[in-house]
C-alpha cells in the first residue's frame, strides 16, 4: 500500500462527533469532483471487527491486529467488510462508543495511518475525522475544524436516528456525546484538537448548504476551486 501522492491537494475537515463533518465532506468532495475519506468509518469497522471477535476494546494488541487485518472496501458510497456490506451496522451508538475506545490506542492509530494516507489520489481528497489536519495530512492545503454546540449535535443525531427508524433517548444521547467528546479530546495520542492553521467554523446555527458554501469559498480563496 503506498502512502499517497503528496502533490495531490487535501482538504481536511475535523471536529467532534455529530458536528456534520461527514455530510459537509461529501458535499464539498462532490462539488470539486474529489475523493472522500470517512476516517471514522475505519475506526468503526475496527470496532465492529473487535466486537465480532468477541472483544470489548480493552486489549490494544487485539484491536490493532484487527485494524491491520481489516478487509475494508469503500464502493459506491457503501462500506464492505470482506464481501459483506456493513450498512448501518457501523452507525449504531454502541459501535460509535467502541470505536472511540479502540481509537484511544496508539497501536490502532498507527495500524490505520498508511491506509488513510493511501486515499490521497488525483485530483484531490477531502478527508474527515479527528486528526486529519494534525496527524494524517499535516500538509493539507485547507484545514477546517467544524464545531457545534453539544446540545445541537445531540438534537441533529437524534433526528437522523429517528429517520432511520432507530429509537433513542435524547438525554442518553447527549450524555453519550459528552463522554465521547471527553475521551476524543482528552486522549494522549492524536486527540481531537483544531490544527494551529485550521479555520474554525461553528455550524450550531448554520444549515448544511451555508457551511458547504463557506468551505467552497475558502477553497476558491486558496486556488483549490474555480
Give the interface with ligand DC as residue ranges (CB under 6 A).
17, 39-40, 43-44, 96, 99-100, 103, 129-131, 180, 184
The C-alpha cell of 50 is what? 473487535
147 in Cβ contact with 72 (< 8 Å): no
* Identity of the residue, 35 or 225, whose beta carbon is nearer to ligand DC in the bound complex: 35
* Minimum separation from the CB atom of position 104 to ligand DC (A): 8
Q: Which is nearer to ligand DC, 47 or 225 (CB)?
A: 47
Total residues belonging to the chain: 226
- Pick 47 or 215: Cβ nearer ligand DC: 47
d(CA 215, CA 168): 32
Torsion of CA 158, 11, 31, 16, to 10 degrees: 10
CA pair distance 180, 184, nearest whole angstrom: 6
Q: Which residue is nearest to ligand DC (CB)?
A: 40
Closer residue to ligand DC, CB minimum distance, 103 or 146: 103
Q: How far is the CB of 108 from ligand DC (least distance, A)?
A: 9
Closer to ligand DC at the Cβ: 35 or 130? Answer: 130
**C-beta of 153: minimal distance to ligand DC in Å?**
11
Give 19 or 225: the residue with its C-beta nearer to ligand DC: 19
In angstroms, what is the minimal distance from the CB of 189 to ligand DC?
Answer: 9
Instruction: Please answer whether residues 141 and 10 qualify as being in contact, where contact means their C-beta atoms are separated by less than 8 angstroms.
Output: yes
DSSP state of 199: E
Give me the least distance between CB of 129 and ligand DC, in Å please. 3
Q: How far is the CB of 217 from ligand DC (least distance, A)?
A: 24
Q: Is the four-CA dihedral 176, 115, 56, 163 of positive or negative sign? A: positive
- Residue 118 C-alpha cell reads as 493511501
4 vs 96 by CB, closer to ligand DC: 96
Strand partners, 13: 128, 144
User: How many Cα neighbours within 13 Å face the side chain of 190?
Assistant: 24
User: How far does CA 88 lie from the centroid of its chain?
Assistant: 15
Amino acid at each position: 500500500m503506498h502512502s499517497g501522492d503528496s502533490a495531490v491537494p487535501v482538504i481536511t475537515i475535523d471536529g467532534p462527533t455529530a458536528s456534520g463533518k461527514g455530510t459537509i465532506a461529501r458535499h464539498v468532495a462532490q462539488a470539486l469532483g474529489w475523493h472522500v475519506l470517512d476516517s471514522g468509518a475505519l475506526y468503526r469497522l475496527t470496532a465492529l471487527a473487535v466486537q465480532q471477535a468477541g472483544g470489548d476494546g480493552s486489549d490494544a494488541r487485539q484491536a490493532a491486529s484487527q485494524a491491520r487485518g481489516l478487509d475494508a472496501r469503500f464502493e459506491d458510497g457503501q462500506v464492505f467488510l470482506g464481501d459483506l456490506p456493513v450498512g448501518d451496522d457501523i452507525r449504531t451508538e454502541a459501535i460509535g462508543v467502541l470505536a472511540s475506545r479502540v481509537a484511544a490506542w496508539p497501536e490502532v492509530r498507527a495500524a490505520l495511518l498508511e491506509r488513510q494516507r493511501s486515499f490521497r489520489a488525483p485530483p484531490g481528497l477531502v478527508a474527515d475525522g479527528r486528526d486529519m489536519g494534525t496527524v494524517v495530512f499535516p500538509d493539507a492545503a485547507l484545514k477546517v475544524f467544524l464545531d457545534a454546540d453539544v446540545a445541537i449535535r445531540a438534537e441533529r443525531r437524534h433526528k437522523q436516528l429517528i429517520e432511520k427508524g432507530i429509537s433513542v433517548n435524547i438525554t442518553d444521547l447527549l450524555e453519550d456525546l459528552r463522554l465521547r467528546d471527553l475521551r476524543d479530546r482528552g486522549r494522549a495520542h492524536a486527540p481531537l484538537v483544531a490544527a494551529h492553521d485550521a479555520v474554525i467554523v461553528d455550524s450550531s446555527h448554520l444549515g448544511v448548504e451555508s457551511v458547504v458554501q463557506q468551505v467552497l469559498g475558502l477553497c476558491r480563496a486558496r486556488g483549490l476551486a474555480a
